Amino acid sequence: MKIVVCVKQVPDSAAKVTVENGKVTWGDAPLVINPWDEFAVEAALRQKEALGGTVTAVTIGGEGTKDALKHALAMGADDAILVNDPALGTLDTQAVAQLLAAAIKKIGGVEMVFFGRQAIDGDSGIVPAQTARLLGWPSLTLASVIQAEAGAVRVERSTEEGRQIVKAKLPAVLSVAKDYGEPRYPSFMGIRKAQRAEIPTLALADLGIPAPAAVVTWPEVMNLPARDVKCEIIGGTPEEAANALVDKLIAEKVL
Amino acid sequence: MDFSLSNEHLMVQKMVRDFAQKEVAPVIKEYDRKQEPIPFVLPRMGELGILGISFPVRYGGQGMDYVSLGLACEELEAVDTTMRVAMSVHVGLCAGTLFHWGTEAQKQEFLVPLAQGKKLGCGAFTEPGMGSDVTAMRAAAKRDGNQYILNGEKMWISLASKADYALITVKTDPNPKKPSEALSTFIVDLTSPGVTRGDIHGKLGVRAGSTGWINFQDVRVPAANRIGAEGEGFKITMSAFDRGRYTVASGATGLIRAALEASVKYAKERAAFGKPIAEHQLIQEKIARMAQDYEIARLLYLRAGWMQNEGKRCTREISFAKKFATEASFKAADDAIQVHGAYGFSDEFDVERYLRNARGAVIYEGSSEIQTLIQAGYALGQREDKPLRCEQPAYDAEEWQK
C-alpha cells in the first residue's frame, strides 16, 4: 500500500510567539516537526507495518522545512518529497490543499493520506478535509483507531461528544488524534538515513498547476493585550480583612 | 576549527532527551525513594539502541560515533544518574573493552548481544579491600587445562545483580616480575556455577540504580574468554577506565546542566525582598558559575569524544574532563540547593537528588585523587602514553555502518 503523510515545520511549542512590526516572530526558537504530525507519521508507519507498502512524507516550503521531512524519515518513512517553487507566495489552507492534492496525484497510486489533527502554528485543522475534497476522497478526521483492509478503512473518531465509528472505501484522507498512541522516537539508523537522504523537490511545473492564490489574508496581526493585574494582600483579623475588602470593592465600583 | 554539532548529533541528542524526559523523568522520584531500579528502563534503552549506540552495525550496534555516546550520556544523566551509570559499565567498561581488545570470536559471541541490548554487561575490578590500588587485588584465576578457575570477591559493582556478563580483572600470576604484569582480564558469564551476587542498599545516591557484589567460588571460565594475553590485564583495565571515565564526564556535564536549569527556573519564580531572587547578585553568582562550568565540562568531554573519533589516545584529556565535570556537578548541585533554599533540602524538588547522585562520581572510575596524580604525571613528564598492542578503533562512519 502506498501511504503519504503530510507534515509541517512549525516553531517549537516552547517558543514565545509575538508580533513585531506587524509580523509574527518566534525569535531564534528552533523549528520542529508539528507535534501533531508525529502522530500522523506513527499512524502511517503502523499501517505500513500491518499491510506492507511504503510511506512517503510530503511538505511544502523552503530548504529549512526539510527538517520536518528528515524527522519523518528518521522515524521510519521510506522517502520524502518537498514541494517548493519560487512562484509560491503566501499560502492559505486551500492553497496548501491544492498543492498537496496535486503532489499526491503526482505520486500516484496513493491509498491513504495521513495528517496531524492540526498544525500548532495556524491551528486551523482544515487542510485534511480540504485536501480530501480536492482529491474527491473521503475525509476521516480525528482518527484514534484505524483498521484498514481490502480497500476499506474503519476508523474510530475522537469527537467532543465521544467516539464515532466510521467506515470508508480507500483511497481516503485521515487526520490523526492524540489518543491514537504515542509516536515513536527516531531510531539511530533512521537518523543516519535521514541525514543522507536526497529529498527531491516538486515544483509547480512538475505538479502541472499554476501557483494557487490565497483567498484568506491576514491584514493585521496583533499581540495579545498585556494583562495588567495588581495583587494586594489584605491583612488583619478575618473580620477586619472582610471589611477592608468590601470597602475596596465598593471604591472600585465592583459592588 | 569547527565547534558545531552535526545535524545527526543534534537528532541523537533530541531522541535521547525525549526518551529520558518523557519516560523516566515522571517516575524517577518514586523509584529513587523506594531505592529500586525502574524496571522498564534498561530494556527500553536496549530496544532504542542506546546501549549499543557507539558500536559498528556489524557487531549489533548503531554505528554512531564517540561524540554521540557522550551526548547520550549527558542527556541521560540530566534526568537521572542511574541511566548513565548503566552506560558507563555496559558500554564503557564491558562492551567497549570487548570491542577494543576482543578477538573476532569474542566479539561475535559477547559484543553482539551486548550491543544489541539483549544482554547486559558490567565491569568488575574493585574489591572489598581494594579500589584505586589496582595491583593489590586479591581475586585470582588459576589455569587448569582449557579453563581458568576463578576465586574472589568484587564489590561496588554497578549492575552486579542485573548483568549477564562481567568483564573482570583478576590476578593470574602470584609472582610477577612487575606488579602490573600479575593481572589478566576475562569475560565471565554470570550464570556460571559458583557465582553468587547481591545488591548493596543504603547508598547516599544513585538509589534507583543497582550496585552490588559478586562472589566467585571455583568458577570455571573457558580460556577462550580471556581478553588479550595473560598479564595484559592491567593495561586492558586502564583502557576500560578511560572509556568509563568518558561516560562519567559527559554524564556529569548533564548533571551540571540539570542543576543550572532547575536553578534558573526557580530563581525567576521565587521572590525575596520585593523582587525575584534571580535579580539578587549572590544568586546570580551561583547561576553564573553553573553556566560557566557547564560550558567548560562540555568542551572538555566533546574534545575527548573527537579525539576518540580520530583514534587518538586521550587518557590525559579524559582525566581532565572526568575530574572537572564530576567535581563541578557536585558543586552545582550544592549551589542549586542553596538557590532553592529550604525547598532544595526536600525531595519535593530534584536538586537534592542531584547532590546525592553527584557525590559518587568523584570517587568511582578513578577518584579525584587518582585523576590528580595522572594529570601531574603528564605535566611533570613522568608519564607518557606508550603505544598499546591494540588501540581503540577510530570512528569510521562508512565501515561502522555497514
Degrees, nearest 5: CA angle B334-B339-B345: 60
Which residues of B are identified as catalytic? 365
pLDDT bucket at A231, cuts 50 / 70 / 90: confident
Residue numbers in B near A185 (CB within 8 A): 15, 18-19, 48
CA triple B72-B44-B20, angle to 5 deg: 45
For residues A179-190, give the mean pLDDT.
96
* Residue A227 clears pLDDT 90, i.e. is over it: no
- Predicted confidence at residue A233, as pLDDT, reads 87
This model of the complex carries an ipTM of: 0.88
Asked if residues B330 and B368 have their Cβ atoms less than 8 Å apart, the reply is no
Grid coordinates standing for A24?
A: 509574527
- Prior bond of A171 cis (ω within 30°): yes
Q: Are A65 and A82 in contact (CB under 8 A)?
A: yes
Record the cell numbers describing residue A207, joined without a space.
505538479
Report chain B residues touching chain A, CB-CB < 8 A.
Answer: 6-8, 11-12, 15, 18-19, 48-49, 53, 57, 62-64, 401
Render pLDDT for B146-193 as a digit per residue (tens, 0 to 9).
999 999 999 999 999 999 999 999 999 999 999 999 999 999 999 999
**Residue A199, domain member (yes or no):** yes
Q: Residue B228 has what pLDDT?
A: 97
Spatial separation of the C-alpha atoms in residues B64 and B72, rounded to whole Å: 11
Q: Do B11 and A195 touch (CB under 8 A)?
A: yes
Asked if A210 and A204 touch (Cβ cutoff 8 Å), the reply is: yes
Q: Any CB–CB contact under 8 A between A74 and chain B?
A: yes
**Contact criterion met (CB < 8 Å) for A187 and B48:** yes
Per-residue exposure over B40-69, b if at least 16 CB sit within 10 Å of its own CB, e if not: ebbebbbebbbbbbbbbbebbbbbbbbbbb
Three-state DSSP class for B170?
strand
Query: Which residue reads 525513594 in cell numbers?
Result: B33
Inter-chain touch B8–A192, beta carbons under 8 Å? yes
Predicted confidence at residue A21, as pLDDT, reads 86
A124/B contact by beta carbon, under 8 A: no
Q: Which residues of B touch A70 (CB under 8 A)?
A: 7, 11
Chain B residues closer than 8 Å to A74 by CB:
11, 15
For the domain that residue A41 is a member of, what is the CATH number? Answer: 3.40.50.620
Q: How many domains does chain A have?
A: 1
For residue A103, being part of any structural domain is answered with yes
Of B310, B317, B332, B309, give the one whose Cα is nearest residue B249. Answer: B317
Single-letter residue type at B371: Q
For residue range A134-145, list pLDDT tens digits in order: 999 999 999 999
Question: How far is B49 from chain A, CA to nearest CA, in Å?
Answer: 7
Residues B282-307 pLDDT 10s: 999 999 999 999 999 999 999 999 99
Residues (pLDDT < 50) of chain B are none
One-letter-per-residue 3-state SS of B38-101: CCCHHHHHHHCCHHHCCCCHHHCCCCCCHHHHHHHHHHHHHHCHHHHHHHHHHHHHHHHHHHHH
Q: For residue A216, is it within any domain?
A: no
CB spacing of B11 vs A189 below 8 angstroms: no
Distance from CA of B42 to the nearest CA of A (A): 16
With respect to residue A194, please indicate whether it lies within any of the assigned structural domains: yes
Question: Helices (DSSP H) in B310-367: which residue ranges?
Answer: 315-340, 351-361
Write the pLDDT tens digit of every residue in A58-90. Answer: 999 999 899 999 999 999 999 999 999 999 988
Predicted TM-score (pTM) of the model is 0.91
On whether residue A248 sits in a domain, the answer given is no
DSSP B20: I
What was the pLDDT predicted at B138? 95
Chain A residue with minimum CA distance to B7: A195
Which residues make Cβ contacts (< 8 Å) with residue B337, sequence separation at least 6? B344, B345, B351, B352, B355
Instruction: Check if the beta carbon of residue B301 is closer than 8 Å to that of residue B321.
Output: yes
| CB atoms inside a 10 Å sphere around CB A11 | 19
- The answer, for A13 touching chain B at a CB cutoff of 8 Å, is no
Q: Are A5 and A77 in contact (CB under 8 A)?
A: yes
DSSP per-residue string spanning B373-395: HHHHHHHTTS---PPPSSPPPPP
A residues 193..252 contacting B (CB < 8 A): 194-195
Q: Do B8 and A189 touch (CB under 8 A)?
A: no
Contact B11 A186 (CB under 8 A): yes
Provide the residue range defining the domain that includes A185.
2-207
The CA distances from residue A197 to A78, A200, A201, B16, B36, in Å, are: 10, 9, 13, 22, 43
Nearest-neighbour CA in chain A from B119: distance (Å): 19
User: What is the model's pLDDT at position B230?
Assistant: 96
- Interval A227-235 mean pLDDT: 85
| Contact between chains at A188 and B7 (C-beta distance less than 8 A) | no
Which pLDDT does position A218 carry in this prediction? Answer: 84
d(CA B389, CA B302): 26
Is residue A95 in a domain?
Answer: yes
Q: Residue B392 carries which side chain, given as an amino acid letter? A: Q
From B7, B8, B49, residue closest to A187, measured CB to CB: B49
**In this complex, which of B7, B18, B49 lies closest to A188 when CB atoms are compared?**
B49
- The Cα of A132 is separated from the nearest Cα of chain B by a number of Å equal to 33
Confidence tier at A224 by pLDDT (50, 70, 90): confident
Show Cβ contacts of residue B274 under 8 Å, excluding neighbours closer than 6 positions: none
**Residue A58 within a domain:** yes
Tell me, what's the pLDDT at A253?
A: 87
What per-residue confidence (pLDDT) applies to A230?
Answer: 82
The answer to whether residue A118 scores a pLDDT higher than 90 is yes
Cβ B75 vs Cβ B17: under 8 Å = yes
Higher pLDDT, A5 or A23: A5
Q: In what order do the strands lie in the sheet with A139-149?
A: A163-169, A152-158, A139-149, A172-176, A110-116, A2-6, A54-60, A79-83, A201-202
For Cα atoms B329, B334, B339, give the angle at the middle one, nearest 5 degrees: 120
Instruction: Determine contact, residues B323/B378, Cβ cutoff 8 Å.
Output: no
Per-residue pLDDT for A228 more than 90? no
3-state class (DSSP) for residue B251: helix
Q: Which residues of A touch B53 (CB under 8 A)?
A: 188
Residue type, B330: F
C-alpha distance from residue A109 to each of A55, A172, B147 (Å): 12, 12, 63
What separation in angstroms does the CA of B291 have from each of B17, B266, B286? 19, 15, 9
- The whole-number pLDDT of residue A148 equals 93
List the domains of chain B with CATH numbers. 7-120 (1.10.540.10), 122-231 (2.40.110.10), 235-400 (1.20.140.10)
Cβ(A93)–Cβ(A124) under 8 Å?
yes
Helix (H) or strand (E) holding B285: helix B281-309
Contacts of B282 (CB under 8 A, 6+ apart): none
Cβ distance B53 to A188 less than 8 Å, yes or no, reads yes
What amino acid is encoded at A137 in this protein?
A: W
Asked if residue A8 is part of any domain, the answer here is yes
Contact A187 B6 (CB under 8 A): no
Cα torsion through B127, B128, B131, B136, rounded to 10:
-70
